[in-house]
Structure 1
């Protein structure tokens, strides 16, 4: 019974986003330019379509929706993000927003070397 309580508190204490990252492919984007605002059920949602690279530097076009609550959902300009993707057809060159399960802002130093080269950053 005590073990069950520990498991419960550990599970509740875990970030939900981290559960969406387990076993997912990771792609990196550099936030540049404007997003598109979409009205859904009376809410304004902000969508981004950007080039994305995996750790080997392979490129895909990715569309994802901002989950940021402040600043009208606008992401920080020039931010680097890692996106966690669950794509059924790995041969597709485009990743839809429904396939993006989570994302987080990261530092330039955290980018894989091949991705830094693609973004022309050192």
Structure 2
């Protein structure tokens, strides 16, 4: 009986992990990727028991096309870092930090990265 319960618990944990991964994939599916360089320019909003930080940053797609993005986070971002931002229906759905070597060539040209 303990083996069966252990197996079910393991199955639930593994299934939960896959669900978490798929949820992010579903959120970013069909989105356009933009690349931004973080700045120290943000506004703060107090929401219930925590602060939200809103950045208005110019982002660039892989072809170098520019778009003004509004990135909202629950923490202050480190300055001069590069983010890949997923935008769908003109809303930022998700973002992740990337290394400058992982930026598309057109974006590297814009940021003058060799």
Shift of 1:13: 5.2
Structure 2 residue 52 is matched with structure 1 residue 60: no
Structure 2 residue 111 is matched with structure 1 residue 109: no
Aligned ranges for residues 64-83 of structure 1 at < 5 Å?
64-67=71-74, 73-83=75-85
Q: Is the 8 A contact 2:42 2:54 kept in 1?
A: yes
Structure 2 residue 24 is matched with structure 1 residue 27: no
Structure holding more helix per residue: 2
Q: What's the RMSD between the two structures over aligned residues? A: 2.2
TM-score computed with the length of structure 1 as normaliser: 0.73
TM-score computed with the length of structure 2 as normaliser: 0.78
Extract unaligned runs of 5+ from structure 1.
Answer: 68-72, 88-94
The answer for the alignment partner of 1:92 in structure 2 is none
Aligned residues: 102
* Cα separation, partners in 2 of 1:36 and 1:76, compared to 1, 3 Å: same
Shift of 1:121: 1.5
Extract unaligned runs of 5+ from structure 2.
Answer: 1-10
Structure with higher Rg: it is 2
Shift of 1:16: 3.5
